[in-house]
C-alpha cells in the first residue's frame, strides 16, 4: 500500500523505531562509518529480524535499511557498482519478507551529513551545490524505485540549504513518487544548523504538493514540542513525529551518551494527537518494545 493511501484510509499511523538501536540490542557492532549498513553488508538476516520485530509490535510504516546506504558511502570502502546494487536488492528483499500487505514500506534517505559520519546530521555543518546534492541522493532513489519502492523519507535533515535543494531541485525530478521530509531540531526547536524554525515553516508551507508529509525525527521531545509552538502543527502538510530517546550523540566515539527516556514519547502522544499529528514513531534509542507502547497508547487515545 502507498503512504498517502494508507493515511487516507487510517490515521494516525504508527512508524517503526530505531533500526540501529534494535540491531545493537541483537548484538551487532555498529561502530563504523556504515552504521546499520554494516549489518546490511555482513549479516543481512539481522536486518530482516529487526524489521519483523517492528511488524510484530504493530508498526504501520517500515523504513528501509538504507539511511546510510548511499552509493558514495559504499564506493568509499571499495565496493564495485554490482556489489552496491546487490546490497540494495538485499535491503528491499529483507523488508518485503518481514512486512504485510497492510503496511507501507518507505525508502529511508539519510542527509549528506549522515554520509560524513561525523554527527553532521545534528549540526548541519556542510555545504554543497544543488547539483551535488542531487547527484548524491539520485543513485539511491533510483535504485530503490527500480526495486519497487515508491514512497520516500528524507530524514534527519539538519541543513536549510539541503532542504531547499531537496524540495526545489530533487523532488521535481520524481513526479510519480511520494516524498516526506523530516528534519532535526535543537532543544529550542530550531533547525539544527541554527535556522529559525519559523523561517523553515514559512518556506515549507508553500510546497505541500512536493512534500505532503513533513515532520521531525531524532530530536528530543523537548525540541519537538518547542517546534510545535513555533508553527509546526499549523503547516498544511501531514505531520510526522519520531523523536529519539533524548540522549546526546558523540560523533567521535559514535556512541550515545547520557540516559535518554523513550517513555517521554509515549506520554506526549495524547497532546500530539490533539494537535492533529498523523504519524508517530521513534528514532535512535527506541526499540520494538517502545513501538508497541506507542501503538497501544495511540489505540487508547483515538
Rounded to 10 deg, the angle between the 130-146 and 81-97 helix axes is 60
pLDDT digits (tens, 9 = 90+) for 272-300: 999 999 999 999 989 999 999 999 999 99
Q: What phi, psi does 120 have (nearest 5°)?
A: -65, -15
Q: 260 with 246: CB under 8 angstroms? A: yes
| Sign of the dihedral defined by the CA atoms of residues 167, 153, 104, 227, in that order | negative
Residue 202 pLDDT greater than 90, yes or no? yes
Percent of the chain at pLDDT > 90 equals 78
How far is CA 135 from each of CA 141, 154, 284, rounded to the nearest angstrom? 10, 15, 27
Q: 250 with 257: CB under 8 angstroms? A: yes
Q: 226 with 261: CB under 8 angstroms? A: no
Determine the Cα–Cα distance for residues 270 and 12; give it in Å rounded to an integer: 11
Determine the Cα–Cα distance for residues 5 and 183; give it in Å rounded to an integer: 23
Q: Please tell me the predicted confidence (pLDDT) of residue 26.
A: 81
Reference 46, options 24, 72, 77; nearest CA is 24
Specify the pTM: 0.94
> Residue 100: how many CB atoms within 10 A of its CB?
8
pLDDT digits (tens, 9 = 90+) for 240-272: 999 997 656 554 555 555 555 678 999 999 999
H-helix or E-strand containing 225? helix 221-229
Helix ranges, 147-187 (H): 160-165
pLDDT digits (tens, 9 = 90+) for 92-130: 999 999 999 999 999 999 999 999 988 898 899 999 999
Q: Please tell me the predicted confidence (pLDDT) of residue 42.
A: 81
Rounded to 10 deg, the angle between the 81-97 and 44-57 helix axes is 30
Please check if 284 is assigned to a binding site: yes
Q: Please tell me the predicted confidence (pLDDT) of residue 247.
A: 59
Please check if 28 is assigned to a binding site: no
Amino acid at each position: 500500500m502507498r503512504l498517502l493511501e494508507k493515511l487516507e484510509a487510517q490515521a494516525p499511523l504508527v512508524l517503526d523505531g530505531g533500526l540501529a538501536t534494535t540491531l545493537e540490542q541483537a548484538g551487532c557492532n555498529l561502530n563504523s562509518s556504515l552504521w546499520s549498513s554494516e549489518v546490511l553488508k555482513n549479516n543481512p538476516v539481522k536486518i530482516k529480524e529487526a524489521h519483523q520485530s517492528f511488524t510484530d509490535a504493530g508498526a504501520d510504516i517500515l523504513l528501509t535499511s538504507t539511511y546510510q546506504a548511499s552509493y558514495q558511502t559504499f564506493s568509499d570502502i571499495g565496493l564495485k557498482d554490482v556489489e552496491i546494487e546487490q546490497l540494495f536488492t538485499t535491503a528491499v528483499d529483507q523488508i518485503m519478507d518481514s512486512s504485510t500487505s497492510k503496511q507501507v514500506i518507505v525508502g529511508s534517505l539519510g542527509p549528506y551529513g549522515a554520509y560524513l559520519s561525523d554527527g553532521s546530521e545534528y549540526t548541519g555543518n556542510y555545504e554543497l551545490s544543488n547539483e551535488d546534492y542531487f547527484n548524491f541522493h539520485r543513485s539511491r532513489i533510483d535504485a530503490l524505485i527500480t526495486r519497487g519502492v515508491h514512497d520516500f523519507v528524507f530524514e534527519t535533515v539538519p541543513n536549510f540549504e539541503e532542504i531547499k535543494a531537496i524540495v526545489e531541485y530533487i523532488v521535481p525530478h520524481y513526479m510519480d513518487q511520494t516524498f516526506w521530509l523530516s528534519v532535526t531540531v535543537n532543544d529550542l526547536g530550531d533547525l539544527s544548523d541554527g535556522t529559525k524554525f519559523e523561517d523553515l515553516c514559512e518556506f515549507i508551507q508553500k510546497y505541500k504538493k512536493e512534500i505532503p508529509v513533513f515532520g521531525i525525527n531524532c530530536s528530543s521531545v523537548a525540541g519537538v514540542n518547542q517546534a510545535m509552538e513555533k508553527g509546526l502543527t499549523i503547516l498544511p502538510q501531514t505531520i510526522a513525529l519520531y523523536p529519539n530517546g533524548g540522549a546526546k550523540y558523540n560523533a567521535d566515539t559514535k556512541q550515545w551518551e547520557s540516559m535518554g527516556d523513550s517513555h517521554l514519547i509515549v506520554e506526549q502522544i495524547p497532546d500530539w494527537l490533539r494537535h492533529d499529528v498523523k504519524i508517530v514513531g521513534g528514532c535512535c534509542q527506541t526499540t520494538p518494545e517502545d513501538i508497541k507502547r506507542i501503538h497501544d497508547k495511540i489505540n487508547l487515545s483515538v
